[in-house]
Chain A
Amino acid sequence: MKNLEELKKIRERVRKDLELRTGKHRIKIVVCLGTCGIAAGARETMNALIDLIAENDRSDTIVTTAGCAGFCEQEPMIQVYMEDKEPVVYGKVDPKAAKEIFEKHILKGEIVEKYLFSKGK
């Protein structure tokens, strides 16, 4: 890859911006990216969530990935972990559903029943 110098400059700028905010992650969203998830379009869901976090400037929220959870017919699945709350699992989360879940659950703390798969461990 070329332009490594430019990448360094972008990194410095981004880091400076971030210093102004808290860097602690309080919300974790896990996207299941097994073969079943990928085939169902989970990479689009993941990228939609990453974009939503950036657009809404939520440095406290992070997206990570996991393998197949064993409920392939429910893919794309995501799990939402919030500090001091029970984990929530959603099924059939396409980019549109991801937006709705992000706006209601992540931003307001309201669970979106429409896509709810399970609550708790």
Chain B
Amino acid sequence: MKDLADHLFDILENSVKAEATEVKITLGIRDKLFFCKIEDNGNGIKDEDVTDPFVTSRKTRRVGLGLPLLKRAVESTGGSLKIYNSEKKGVILEFKIDIAHIDAKPFGDIARTFIDVIYSWPKVSFDIFFQMEGNKKVSIFSSKEIRKIVSDFDIQQKEVRDFIYDSIDEELKKMGIDSQFGID
């Protein structure tokens, strides 16, 4: 995984595999600390340490590296990661990264991650929020909203994808999430 965008895509795939139909992603930056919260309504996790590489639900191999890799990326900056079943159905994953730390991975192309996500799993609804200071949440993107307008077929068209990409990218940049080295 070369950047946070790759990790994010990987982690969102976990929600899809757990049969979630709705995934809420909240991003924020405060004092050079980037935080991310992912809430889904999937099947949840069993009572075991899912950040252990030898704990996995997959059938093709007996190792699962998605969460352990993210955990390492996060902790190498002095940050932390928590994953737990929510009181309602589903899982909540939270992590914090010190983006000013020398070992912090670059953000990468976060907008591209979201485009890839809605392209890969058109049946799942993804909502992205940015949390400002004082806990105020701003909606950056809602796939439900987009899906009302574009079909699976439309989203395969370059012009449509590019337009959605540019809109998300613009919103993220306004929030201070710039592609290569985080914030300036």
Using a CB–CB cutoff of 8 Å, the interface residues on chain A facing chain B are 1-4, 6-8, 10-11, 13-15, 18, 23, 33-36, 38-39, 41, 43, 46-47, 50-51, 53-54, 62-65, 67-70, 72
Contact = CB atoms under 8 A, between A and B. Distances in A.
Interface stretch (B6-14, B23-31, B41-49): B6-14
A35 B69 contact: yes
| Main SS class of interface, A | helix
Contacts of B140: 1
A43 B6 CA distance: 8
A54 B58 CA distance: 34
Contacts of A38: 1, 6, 9-10, 13
B66 to A, nearest CB: 4
Interface stretch (B81-89, B91-99, B148-156): B148-156
A7 B6 contact: no
A7 B10 CA distance: 28
Interface of B: 1-2, 6, 9-10, 13, 17, 58, 60-61, 64-66, 69, 112-113, 116, 119-120, 139-142, 145-146, 149-150, 153-154, 156-161, 163-164, 167-168, 171
B154 A15 contact: yes
Contacts of A67: 13, 17, 58
28 contacts: A1-B139, A1-B141, A1-B142, A1-B145, A1-B146, A3-B163, A3-B167, A10-B163, A11-B150, A13-B159, A14-B154, A33-B13, A34-B13, A38-B1, A38-B6, A38-B10, A39-B6, A39-B10, A43-B6, A43-B112, A43-B116, A46-B116, A47-B116, A53-B156, A62-B156, A68-B60, A68-B61, A69-B60
Nearest to B167: A1
A11 B160 contact: yes
A67 B116 CA distance: 14
